[in-house]
Amino acid sequence: MTQDPAENAKLKDLAQHHAPQGDTLTTDQGVKISDNQNSLRAGPRGPTLLEDFILREKITHFDHERIPERVVHARGEAAHGVFQVYESLAPITCAGFLQDPCRKTPVFVRFSTVAGSRGSADTVRDVRGFAVKFYTDEGVFDLVGNNIPVFFIQDAIKFPDLVHAVKPEPDSEMPQAASAHDTFWDFISLMPESTHMIMWVMSDRAIPRSHRMMEGFGVHTFRLVDAAGGSRFVKFHWKPLLGIHALAWDEAQKLAGRDADFHRRDLWEAIEAGDYPEWELGLQIVEEAEADRLGFDLLDPTKLIPENVVPVRRVGKLTLNRNPDNFFAETEQVAFHPGNIVPGIDFSADPLLQGRLFSYLDTQLLRLGGPNFHEIPINRGICPFHNNQRDGFKRHTVATGRVAYEPNSLAGGAPHEVPPEQGGFHSVPETLGSPKLRIRSASFSEHFEQARLFWISQTGVEQDHIVEAFTFELSKLTVPAIRERMVQALETVDATLAQRVAEGLGLVAGGQAPAQAATLLQPSPELSMIGSGDGSIRTRKVAVLAADGVDDEAVDTLRRALEAGGAHCRVIAARLGEVNTAGGTRLRIDHTFATMPSVAFDAVFLPGGSDHIEALSDSGEAVYYLLEAYKHGKPIAATGEAVDLLDGISIVPDDCGGSLNGVVCQCDGATLETVAERFVAAIARHRFWQRDDRHQIPA
């Protein structure tokens, strides 16, 4: 995909505001600095003078460089891009940016983890934030969601409790960016409404392969409003065109140590390489008259609408095509707020959403120093704004004239109200006749059916991973009673799930009866990640192992095929530099075994060459590299003498007629082109979890 340079420059200008220019070093006031190496002193060895305004300005600015990090979603990365709707959505909404397929709406998208600090690792097991800021002609619209469609709690009043429970425990400040500790599971085990969400968090959804390969959800139920004032409920989805893919838990843990910036680096490098990440915006529309037929309350944020009940309508495409110019100015200072909506979009009475409408604005007042954070360039809309709000910390706008009130006659009544028919925002009228009560709706009382739906919709290997995740997390607890309580909670979801987790913890499932009789549920295939995507190998990363004597013909043939399909090949060896090939040429090495391990790649290619294979057979690092990739279900290809190396370390190949376990070897008489074709097909399948012996691999 290409981007028009003129258009890209125009969009970039929207986010910039008087960036420093020129080569001359000056103070903030523009005074040219002649010496930036020494403070002003009373003699060569005398005390520093207070009058050194250059020193004072520089140190003062440095002392105040940091702003409070976000309480949640502190660890994040972002990118600029555009959104285009496929066709006018006028029949369901009057939102201007959803009308014209030719209009490109600038966006800024931030991805994040929830629990960790700014310095935590990317690949921890956690919910991922997926926040999109649309710079529309009618104002800023923020769709602030996650990569999981439901949430832990039903009412915002419980949010501080949830976050306090999952954050590092206050006495020890441990563990960082992890939920595997007593306080979190103590809270979860006592909150039945969290059951559905915790199933998602223990699934592979919580350890995505990359931001480019994860779904996004608005979580809450919103409303779309048409020009006549009619409204309907809507759930927002982001569907990645590359499909939904995850890391193995072992990979995620290793990457946290090898490359704590794995997701951040992946996003940055993909955009720099022109592999622009793409998602389609999807809508699930429910007319108000149909809402009661769903069998659950649409206002309950712990529930989703199964896609086999209400299909997702894909209405437009989001493309990220430019990295930020400055992390702090853009990614760190961007302020998202669910209350930033435009005409054509409105809220529902979801009690968690209602609390977020207060919390996000309140948070920005502290983080960004007052009410004028909307004037920071990354937060500023592309449409003009006019109102009577004045002054305050960090005010940038220079308001002219003497009128700052309404109504007025001295300014001709301006700025004046705009009626809805001319584009003024108009809230959907709702009849609110209930008494004031601190009470939860009875329609919010069922907590286990959708958790069970999620479980039965997973493939066998995905269920295995959920069991392993629960076992790992609960094994880290120091209070046995919490483990026992969680096993009892899992019995309300599925007896087999509870039994398998109990066995891993050395417990016996208690056979507790479910809270209520389970209904006959039909699996929802869309809840599984397996088999998603467009079937291509675009942006996949393939490691090519090399030593002196490597078969350069095999390397060239497979590299051409892989790169033609959009994959990226990197040559890995024991050390940097170059190796001699069997054909007498030199092959440049991109990375070493230590600096770019197998967990950073999607597939591994082992070329032939007798001297090359002899050297790798004697290398513990190379053998481990192959075994680790095999253990993680990744496609592996071998040509020539390399087939014998795989046989020697008990990596079993496919039969030559098909792709049974993703190990593609050059059979008798097979051409390199045939191997390349089969390898491309294997990579398109992503993983081969059906390798029965992978758990016995010593890696």
* pLDDT at residue 471 greater than cutoff 50: yes
pLDDT, position 515 = 46
* In the chain, % of residues over pLDDT 70: 95
pLDDT, position 12 = 55
Query: Could you report the per-residue pLDDT of 624-681, keeping only the tens digit for each?
Result: 999 999 999 999 999 999 999 999 998 988 865 555 789 999 987 899 999 999 999 9
Q: Which of 131-145, 301-315, 416-430, 639-653 has the lowest mean pLDDT?
A: 416-430
Can you read off the two tokens belonging to residue 189? 């085990």
Assess whether the previous peptide bond of 68 is cis (omega < 30° from 0): no
Average pLDDT rounded to a whole number, residues 24-35: 92
Burial of 438 by CB count in 10 Å (0-12 exposed, 13-18 middle, 19+ buried)?
Answer: exposed
Query: Could you report the per-residue pLDDT of 492-533, keeping only the tens digit for each?
Result: 999 999 999 999 999 988 765 554 444 568 899 999 999 898
pLDDT, position 304 = 98
* pLDDT at residue 112 greater than cutoff 60: yes
* In the chain, % of residues over pLDDT 90: 84
* pLDDT at residue 16 greater than cutoff 70: no
Q: What is the pTM for the complete model shown?
A: 0.93
Query: Could you report the per-residue pLDDT of 39-83, keeping only the tens digit for each?
Result: 999 999 999 999 999 999 999 999 999 999 999 999 999 999 999
* pLDDT at residue 3 greater than cutoff 70: no
Average pLDDT rounded to a whole number, residues 211-223: 98
* pLDDT at residue 369 greater than cutoff 80: yes
Mean pLDDT, the chain, rounded, equals 93
pLDDT, position 1 = 47
Question: What's the distance, CA 85 to chain centroid?
Answer: 22
* pLDDT at residue 698 greater than cutoff 90: no
Query: Could you report the per-residue pLDDT of 266-297, keeping only the tens digit for each?
Result: 999 999 999 999 999 999 999 999 999 999 99
Pairwise CA distance, residues 572 & 668, whole Å: 27
Active-site positions read 73, 146
DSSP 489-552: HHHTT-HHHHHHHHHHTT-----PPPSSPPP-----GGG--TT-S-S--TT-EEEEE--TTB-H
Average pLDDT rounded to a whole number, residues 102-125: 97
